[in-house]
Amino acid sequence: MPLALAMPLAGHAAGGVSITSYGHSALLIRGGGATVLLNPFKAVGCAAGLSEPRVRADVILASSRLLDEGAPVATGRFLVTPGSYRVAGLRIEGFAAPHDRLGGRRFGMATLWRWKQGGLEIAHLGGTAAPLKPEDRVLLGKPDVLIIGVGGGAKVYTGAEAAEVVRDLQPRRVIPVQYVSGTTPAGCDQGDVKPFLDAMAGTPVQRPGRTVTLGAPLSDATQILVLQ
């Protein structure tokens, strides 16, 4: 893998972003003149009971084509395959990682995403349970904002696994996703956010509601942002 990808990516001008949660691992990120939607879902499985993110975005970044993280419910340029892309003034890098802990033998491969928006380096690990390889760490660098699944189950990091990734990457802000809030849907193998927060004991936690606004640059100390 080329080491150059660890250098800051070219993007729109600085100015920060606003991030709105739709639940599960769907986030809408606005800033730098672009709108990015992550992991649109059908209200099935662990996303049952949630309102589907039927919104318009410049680009949609999906971890896979599974219906709980890559459903065709939103409007925009849909990206799910690893590669280098330029969309709406953003340079976006996607690379493959096993979706599960079995080298992808159960759920195939997922795509991890990295891009710069509003002056912030963002990494999206919403759809993997596999440990990061050394080359993954090089490609991801030190994100300003790390979006990471924490709910456990067959294809999502457990709280302890996610905490280990956070310690490896040392991001400035962490947004946990892919966990259950409230009653667990029938057949869902994911848990809540508490094991992750327990594993990150001592790290400041903020609960800003459904939307958070982040300016650029961010302070260096890691903080966890738990969105509704």
pLDDT tens, 63-77? 999 999 999 999 999
Strands 109-117 and 90-98: antiparallel
pLDDT in tens, 78-118: 999 999 999 999 999 999 999 999 999 999 999 999 999 99
* pTM for the structure as a whole: 0.92
Q: Does the pLDDT at position 9 exceed 60?
A: no
User: Which percentage of the chain shows pLDDT scores above 90?
Assistant: 91
Task: Report phi then psi at 22, rounded to 5.
Answer: -110, 10
pLDDT at 184: 94
Decide which of 2 and 218 is more confident. Answer: 218
What is the DSSP track for 173-225? Answer: EEEEES---SSPPTT-----SHHHHHHTTTS-EEEEESEEEE-SSPPSS-EEE
Rounded Cα–Cα distance for residues 9 and 66 (Å): 28
pLDDT number for residue 88: 96
The 10 Å Cβ neighbour count of residue 42 is 17
The closest alpha carbon to 217, from 73, 74, 115, 120, belongs to: 120
Number of Cβ within 10 Å of residue 208's Cβ equals 14
CB atoms within 10 A of CB 167: 12
Q: Which helix (H) or strand (E) holds 160?
A: helix 159-169
**How many CA atoms lie within 13 Å of 184's alpha carbon, on the beta-carbon side?**
13
Distance CA 122, CA 2 (A): 19
Predicted pLDDT of residue 15: 87
pLDDT band of 14, cuts 50, 70, 90: low
- The predicted-structure confidence for 183-222, as pLDDT tens digits, reads as follows 999 999 999 999 999 999 999 999 999 999 999 999 999 9
pLDDT digits 0-9 by tens, 108-154: 999 999 999 999 999 999 889 999 999 999 999 999 999 999 999 99
Look at residue 5 and tell me whether its pLDDT is greater than 80: no
